[in-house]
Amino acid sequence: MQTKIFTIKTAADTEQLNAAAKIIQNGGIAAIPTETVYGLAANALDGNAVSKIFKAKGRPQDNPLIVHISELSGWYPLVKDIPEAALKLAEAFWPGPLTVILPKSDIIPAEVSAGLSTVAVRMPSHPIARALIRAAGLPLAAPSANVSGSPSPTSAKHVLNDLNGKIDAVIDGGVCTVGVESTVISLADKTPCLLRPGGITPEQLKAVLGKIDIDPAVFSSLATGEKPSSPGMKYKHYAPKARVVILKGSLEAFINFVKENASESAAVLCFDGEDRMMPVRAVSYGREDVPAEQAQKLFGALRAVDEIPGTDKVYARCPIASGLGLAVYNRLLRAASFEVIEL
């Protein structure tokens, strides 16, 4: 299949938006920009269209998708009930990088919820994503637009590297500003539970909801046979082909460790300005004290180290795991399959 590329700079480009919306209305799949990462979108109410997403990504069938809406009114038909807490979250953080899980209504096809009784919903803030949802007049199911397991795409180029020829279209709307996926919170049980840290921090959620639980899978791998609260937690994620190892400690200790242990085929993932001090090839992912910059650059940097020929091991500097840094740490931890060395 030939993947059609739309370059859309503003939500006022209705001609191209309508053409892209048609593809989705006709049961096709298209990659779309959002403020977090690019999503691979299909009509969320059409199980057949949604199944094409799983095929193109090579996504395990039991991993449910997030449904994207452009107006609050679009949420009501998708879920059984919208509790007060959910409305408070929507008021505080939508449109934006927050996904809310609630018991689903009957119009959600099994392909979207992967057989669960709940559905994840998000209202993105990206003007082109919103305009496209409106033009299609449909809720859009969209996981990140990468091949399953590889780093999420934050540009149309990343999407094409992974999925060119496997999807109907890509809308190039520029580079994603947040850079890590949305925060996922479940309101399906008594206490709200954070399943995936992201663009909205735990502190921001607590300010609205009071007490929240944080799923243990945010910080550690699941024990063998343990049932995850979010199916995505059990899969290897965000990983380049090279093996990633996080080294926790000072810059000085990091450099010494790499000097003593790295072979010629190793590379490092470091903070801006540290590249020149590294004894092996280096890619930087933002300033050490600016988590928003790290979030925006991390996935691109993980892809970039894979493009250094012959790299088989990547030593990564460890970000500060609080605020937005928690999302950065969580993604890096998964890219490293939880391999952390304390220096």
Q: Which residues contact ligand TXA by CB under 6 A?
A: 34, 36-37, 39, 63-66, 97, 99, 101, 113, 116, 118-120, 122, 142-144, 181-182, 184, 195, 230-232
Beta-ladder partners of 247: 317, 341
Q: Is 182 exposed, middle or buried, given 0-12, 13-18 or 19+ CB atoms closer than 10 A?
A: buried
Least distance to Mg ion, CB of residue 259, Å: 35
With CB atoms as reference, the residue minimizing the distance to ligand TXA is 232
Structure tokens at 116: 């669960």
Contact status: 154 vs Mg ion (CB under 5 A): no
Least distance to Mg ion, CB of residue 234, Å: 13
Beta-ladder partners of 236: none
**Closest to Mg ion by CB, 144 or 296:** 144
**Closest to ligand TXA by CB, 98 or 135:** 98
Q: Given candidates 34, 36, 144, 183, which one binds Mg ion under the rule CB under 5 A?
A: 144
Beta-ladder partners of 317: 247
**Closest to Mg ion by CB, 85 or 114:** 114
Least distance to ligand TXA, CB of residue 101, Å: 5
Partner whose footprint covers residue 311, from ligand TXA, Mg ion, none (CB < 5 to 8 Å by kind):
none
Partner whose footprint covers residue 70, from Mg ion, ligand TXA, none (CB < 5 to 8 Å by kind):
none
**Closest to ligand TXA by CB, 131 or 278:** 131
Least distance to ligand TXA, CB of residue 214, Å: 15
**Contact of 152 with 181, CB cutoff 8 Å:** yes
Residue with tokens 């048609």: 22
**Closest to ligand TXA by CB, 211 or 227:** 227
Query: Number of helices (H) and strands (E), helices first, in the chain?
Result: 10, 16
> H or E stretch including 331?
helix 325-335
Helix, strand, coil tally for the chain in percent (to 5): 35, 20, 45
For 103-130, b/e burial (b = at least 16 CB within 10 A) is: ebeeebbebbbbebebbbbbbbbbbbbb
Contact status: 34 vs Mg ion (CB under 5 A): no
Residues of this chain that interact with Mg ion (CB under 5 A) are 144
